Structure 1
Amino acid sequence: MPLTFDFGPENRPDVLAKRAKTPVTLLAGFLGSGKTTLLKHLLENQHGLRIGVVVNDLASVNIDSQLMRRYDHGLVEIAELQNGCVCCSSADDLFSAVQTIVMRSKDCPFEHILVELSGIGDPQAIRCNWALATDCQLPAAMLTQLAKVITVVDASAFLADWRDTRKALERNGSAEHDGRGRGKGYSTSREMVGNLLAEQIELADVLVVNKCDLAKAEELSKTLQTLRAINPTAELCQTEFARVPSAVLPPVPIGLKIQTAGQEKGYSWTQTTKEVQLKMPIEKHVKGKDIDFTLRKGSLTLGLKLREVAKGVLAGEVANADDAMFEIESIGQERHVLLCLEKKEPGMWSSLWKQSGVPACGHQHCNGHCFQAKPVRIASEEGRPFWSFVFQRRRPFHGQRLQHLLEEWQDALSCSFDIEQEVLEVDSTSQAALQGVLRSKGFAWSTTEPLRCLRWSQAGRCVSCAPEDYWWQPLNSEQRRFRLSYPGAEAEFRELQQKWHHEWGDCRQELVFIGGSEMVEETIVGLLEECLLTDAEFEEFKVTTSQLKMPDDEFGVEELFRETEALEVSASQQEEQANSDDADTAFVRSLGVGCKLQDSAKFEAVD
């Protein structure tokens, strides 16, 4: 049974499921890339939209007079986080802030929510937290949807950060954070910063290449090549001072866009949750008999004889249409017709009139001018495009040989990415091939941790291969059942069935390599195969690991299921008691006792 919470009748999951979801956009990027400048630009250029904002440092936004006016009119709402990064120690604070923004105005919801991550914020961690909150049916998650990740890249500093993370670590590594949900007590490392830079790019739907005016032409070209190699599908936007098109944000879902007032030719209108008011200016000689007025429960005509002013199908139905009357108010130049319409059902309409359609792009506010940057395949400096290959095997690595290869790889990358000298001579063909790898990632299986999956990640000169989750294959039925209760685990397990081996299950080598013309697949595959166990070593490995079992205390399986069974028994007993009480009440009623009482009356017997 999934974990759920009771937030009151208005926030029941079946009620929230019927409401339109507010799109949430994550703004990612290292410190100094221009995230705050982008945020401020978006807030100042999204006219007519209600935007909620979650930031780590409110002072950095620097709310000026223009933004303050929108803030005062309720078009912008800003929530500040002060307790840490929203992707780890303050994930609960993030949902609390989003919850506050979403629930602050149920009748006129915000149409966008922007979340500015810290410099080392991991968008993937946010996605995992959002999936968990959705499974737990938290209102903040059920009323929102992670729609887009926008990553800002500093064109003048990206290559230096990619080649060597020391300066990036100085800018971003002051907070104790590891990007994987662990908070204080885990310091930022160079490897973490390098891999986070790659992951922020890989997970982006839009890559904003900022500060293009500060980058040299060759530097900008190499930056674009690298970004496109790492993420070939993201929309790419080159900017100065983070001036992006306003339509870079996701479209407002139908049913969420709400217009509270309007000024049309010949009339104006406003609405509340209960009524709609129309005002039509008229000249001083116009009398009531000159007004053309027809109202049905779903349509309206208002104007003067021979001149229709307002006519169409209303966005909602009105109550007591036959009894509705208009009034003529004021005198002189302020003279106007006032029409008040009572809504049949309380709530805000998306606008006064029913929309006949939405632009093909899905935006209700773009008027056909929509930013749709198409990915462009960028060739490498030598004219050959970046390319990739996958290394897959069903045999573990020898731990010591793998460690030696990783150290050799680190040395090769340190030479190629040396800060003082752009490229140094290499000692071997293998080092030259390793230097050609721009990015590699995947899963590895090693004798050092036979029951655990190693997460392989290399970005620039940062190489890591560290144990993370346990493989599914060595888990017994109860442990597997426990793990399947995690959010998203069941979908992951079903997908693994296509790769399942009859003997080794999901244990495997699955590594993806991305590089340019210097990357030689045959050489790299040869180096990796030398690290695999030989036939004799593999047979010995089978014998030594045949008795390995996962201890239950790693998962807390026994205690959890004992508590779960106790709760089920308690619920069953309560249900049986309730059924027994109903039977006793029916028997007493059959004797004529309390026959005049209402069924809902509450009473109890006393001695």
Structure 2
Amino acid sequence: MNKKIPVTVLSGYLGAGKTTVLNYLLANKDGKKIAVIVNDMSEINIDSQLIQNGGFSRTKETLVELTNGCICCTLREDLIMEVEKLAKNGNIDYLVIESTGISEPIPVAQTFTYIDEEVGIDLSKFCTLDAMITVVDAFRFWSDYESGESLLERKQTDDVQDIRDVSDLLIDQIEFANILLISKTDLVTPEYLQAFKSFLKKLNPEAAIVPMVNGAVAPEEILDKRLFDFEKASQGAGWIKELNDEHIPETEEYGITSFVYRRKRPFHPERWYDWLKAFPQEIVRSKGFFWLATRNNMSGILSQAGSSIQIQGAGNWVASLSKDEQQMILQEDSSLTSRWDDILGDRLTEMVWIGLEMDRYEIETGLDSCLLTDEEMVSDWTKLSDPLPPFSSN
């Protein structure tokens, strides 16, 4: 087998400008042989038509169209088989996959890092995932992010089970990228662009940020970068770094701030629910673990992006397990040992808040008012009213 083919995955919300980037790349490929897989949701494959109109169909490279589905679900098998075929045929230097605007990046990355048991193909034999790239629309980002709409409401998915909000998808695509391409920079002011870059840096401190106009980005900026590492990408989000005390301070001059809220006392479910219903608008991203008095055995996880707020179960607290199980886990995880409390064990609330012009004192005071009082701490927690929805497992 010849050397592995580097794969670049181009993500980004619908209309962000992925196809424009692809057109520019193919027009300025400087002799490189690039194979392209275009994945599009619509019955009429507009994206690939644009690419063909841009001259791509008259070149010697290969264009493969995958329609009526999404990389992260129905077309996964098609994608894997198509990539294997292209790789085995050889005679290409790079493979670029333009994913649909509603596809999440992690399942795409997993396609290249794990053997697919159903199809029985291990793409890592032929390819190496080079970089995950997300195109972010500087002009439309905030209107999409703050819309409060779901993909279903926007008629951007045919799956009635798909309950994702637009804001969640935008954040997922930003947080898991190696490179963020900012499109439509000619439609915003230089001051806005600087602040927007800082905001993206706060969400994903590891990503390279490249502003562009009309999709013009040099091939060497996005091809053969050797940037992707699944473990690193999984830990690259700004909220994870903040939780690990890796603070990114340089964004504060634009009013973009963040802090970690840590308390070793559970939330009162009713007061926590009321606080969440009146969620401060200046918080644009928050995520982390919380301790709820009425669900003392299980850790909760809060994930907020724009107007989308989700809570779910994050597994049992180690402190709720048997002594033998606790000892086994503590021996395996030294970081857990260092923060273990003799009385509470690992139970605590630990959440990251990222926002624009946030009043940290006001937010912390509000959160503190949701904690159990001294009197409530010694009462029967099972008798507290709990209006929060049940913890889901995903």
TM-score class normalised by the smaller sequence: 0.7 to 0.9
Counterpart of 1:155? 138
Q: Deviations over 1:465-507 (max 9, x none)?
A: 3114423635679x99xxx9xxxxxxx9787666555666654
Q: In 2 relative to 1, CA 163–499 (structure 1 residues): closer, same or farther, beyond 3 Å? A: same
- Is structure 2 residue 298 aligned with structure 1 residue 458? no
CA distance, structure 1, for counterparts of residue 199 and residue 37 of structure 2: 30
Work out the CA distance in 1 between the residues paired with 2:113 and 2:346. 24
Which of 55, 75, 92 is residue 90 of structure 1 equivalent to?
75
Contact 1:31 1:171 in 2 (8 A): no
Paired amino acid for 1:43: L
What is the aligned partner in structure 2 of residue 511 from structure 1? 351
- The count of aligned residue pairs is 351
Shift of 1:407: 0.6
Quote the offset at 1:406 in angstroms: 0.5
- Structure with the bigger RCO (C-alpha within 8 Å, sep 6+) is 2
The alignment's C-alpha RMSD in Å is 3.8
Pick one of 375, 384, 395 that aligns with 2:265.
395
Residue 365 of structure 2: aligned partner:
526
Following TM superposition, by how much is the alpha carbon of 1:156 offset from its aligned partner in structure 2, in angstroms? Answer: 1.7
Q: Which residue of 1 aligns with 2:213?
A: 240
**CA deviation profile, 1:522-547 (whole Å, cap 9, x unmatched):** 32222222222334544556889xxx
Q: What TM-score does the superposition give when structure 2 sets the normalisation length?
A: 0.74
Q: Is the 8 A contact 2:23 2:54 kept in 1?
A: no
Q: Which runs of 5+ in 1 are unaligned?
A: 1-15, 177-183, 254-375, 414-434, 485-491, 545-553, 555-607
Deviation at 1:218, TM superposition (A): 5.2
Q: How does 1:188-199 map to 2 (within 5 A)?
A: 188-189=163-164, 192-199=165-172
Match of 2:85 in 1: 100
Structure 2 distance, partners of 1:53, 1:508, is 48
> Is residue 279 of structure 2 the alignment partner of residue 440 of structure 1?
no
Task: Answer whether contact 2:5 2:95 (CA < 8 A) is retained.
Answer: yes
In the alignment, which residue of structure 1 is the partner of 2:240?
A: none
Pairs within 5 Å for 1:517-556: 518-540=357-379
The 8 Å contact of residues 195 and 254 in structure 2, kept in 1 or not, is answered as no
**1:524 match: secondary structure:** helix
Identify if the C-alpha distance between structure 1 residues 470 and 379 changes in structure 2 by more than 3 Å, giving closer, same or farther: closer
Alpha-carbon distance, 1:115 to partner: 2.0
- Structure 2 distance, partners of 1:127, 1:216, is 34
Query: Scaled by the length of structure 1, what TM-score is found?
Result: 0.50
**In the TM superposition, what are the counterparts of 1:314-393 in structure 2 within 5 Å?**
383=253, 386-393=256-263
Give the 3-state SS of the residue equivalent to 1:133 in structure 2: coil
Output the CA distance in 2 between the equivalents of 1:504 and 1:96.
Answer: 51
Partner Cα separation in structure 1 for residue 343 and residue 121 of structure 2: 40
Amino acid at match of 2:211: Q
Write the distance in 2 (CA, Å) between the matches of 1:540 and 1:131.
50
Which whole-Å deviations, capped at 9, do the CAs of 1:181-203 have from their partners, x for residues lacking one?
xxx441345xx211221222222
Give the partner amino acid of 1:35. K
Match of 1:122 among 104, 118, 139: 104
1:405 and 1:216, CA in 2 relative to 1: closer, same or farther beyond 3 A? same
Which of residues 22, 31, 56 in structure 2 aligns to 1:67?
A: 56
Q: Greater Rg, structure 1 or structure 2?
A: 1
